[in-house]
């Protein structure tokens, strides 16, 4: 067995921000199905996070949950310390392999009604937080690891009421290109996954619960329906497999063909 074979045989560990619910939870479980251990973060619902950890363990993988407010940049040093301790305690490891920047919220307001506070909240969570959390965790990511940043179909097409949210996602897509370039010498591939409209509780569950909106979006989608979490999590897990190791610096939209 070569050194490369030994390296590839080691347990891989992923960190999924916002992994206790919605697309993050689905991604965490999809990674577990692929034989990857998972650290998830949660904002406030510890019981929900613990339930996700137990679901991952039921699939035969190790898991841990850590509290994190991805918009509170000043807490990132403490989070990194907590993550180091979790890696040591659960895996006897100083590093992890995959970072999935998934955590986020939705604020939907017309441009003329969006406040500076709305803008700052979205920026801190969706762009500034991703920027500096990734920077803070770089020493803990293995060489040859992967980073996936979550964007949105709204960075390509437009729906009224999402100018601030979509602008942050556009910034994430540009950041992904720069990270792919600058982290390339370490063998770290960085890509963007941009989901379309998905039936989750995101944004108050509007896409899931508003029948008229759901039908309208389905009519704009080539495959004739709105997406569900199982359309996204397995795709991200697949992107992180060795089969896709040569994909880097790309924006991959997973929308069923909205507005094609």
Task: Identify whether 221 is part of a domain.
Answer: no
Strand blocks (E) in 52-200 = 63-67, 96-101, 141-150, 189-195
Q: Is residue 93 part of a domain?
A: yes
**SS3 category, 240:** coil
> Is pLDDT of 4 > 90?
no
Structure tokens at 138: 């770089």
165 carries an active-site annotation: yes
pLDDT digits (tens, 9 = 90+) for 150-169: 999 999 999 899 999 999 99
Q: Which domain holds residue 37?
A: 12-195+232-252
In tens, the pLDDT along 31-60 reads 999 999 999 999 999 999 999 999 999 999
Cβ–Cβ < 8 Å for 227, 199: yes
Say if residues 38 and 31 touch (Cβ distance below 8 Å): yes
- Asked if 135 contacts 179 with a C-beta cutoff of 8 angstroms, the reply is no
Residue 213 domain-assigned? Answer: no
Mean pLDDT across the chain = 94
Does residue 258 sit within a domain? no
pTM over 0.85: yes
Whole-angstrom Cα distance, residue 79 to residue 191?
24
Return d(Cα 195, Cα 253) in angstroms, integer.
6
The structural domain count of the chain equals: 1
Please report the pLDDT score of residue 203 as a whole number. 65
In a domain, 219, yes or no: no
Is residue 7 predicted with pLDDT exceeding 60? no
223: in domain: no
Residue appearing with tokens 């795709």: 235
Note whether residue 1 is domain-resident. Answer: no
CATH value at residue 60: 3.40.50.720
pLDDT at 62: 98
Catalytic residue (one of 42, 162, 165, 178): 165
Q: Is residue 65 part of a domain?
A: yes
- For 212, the token pair is 């008229």
């Amino acid at each position: 067995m070569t050194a490369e074979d030994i390296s590839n045989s080691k347990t891989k560990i992923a960190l999924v921000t916002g992994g206790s619910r919605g697309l993050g939870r689905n991604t965490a479980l999809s990674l577990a199905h692929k034989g990857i251990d998972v650290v998830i973060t949660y904002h406030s619902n510890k019981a929900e996070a613990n339930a996700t950890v137990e679901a991952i363990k039921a699939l035969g993988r190790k898991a841990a949950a850590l509290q994190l407010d991805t918009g509170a940049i000043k807490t990132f040093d403490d989070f990194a310390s907590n993550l180091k301790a979790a890696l040591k305690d659960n895996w006897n490891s100083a590093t992890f392999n995959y970072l999935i920047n998934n955590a986020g919220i939705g604020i939907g307001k017309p441009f003329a009604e969006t406040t500076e506070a709305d803008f700052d909240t979205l920026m801190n969570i969706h762009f500034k937080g991703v920027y500096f959390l990734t920077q803070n965790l770089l020493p803990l990511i293995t060489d040859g690891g992967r980073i996936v940043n979550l964007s949105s179909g709204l960075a390509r097409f437009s729906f009224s009421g999402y100018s601030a949210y979509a602008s942050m996602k556009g910034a994430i897509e540009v950041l992904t290109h720069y990270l792919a370039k600058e982290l390339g010498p370490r063998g770290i591939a960085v890509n963007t996954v941009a989901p379309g409209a998905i039936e989750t509780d995101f944004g108050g569950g509007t896409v899931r619960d508003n029948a008229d909106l759901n039908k309208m979006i389905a009519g704009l989608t080539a495959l004739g329906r709105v997406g569900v979490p199982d359309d996204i999590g397995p795709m991200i897990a697949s992107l992180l497999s060795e089969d896709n190791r040569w994909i880097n610096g790309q924006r991959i939209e997973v929308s069923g063909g909205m507005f094609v």
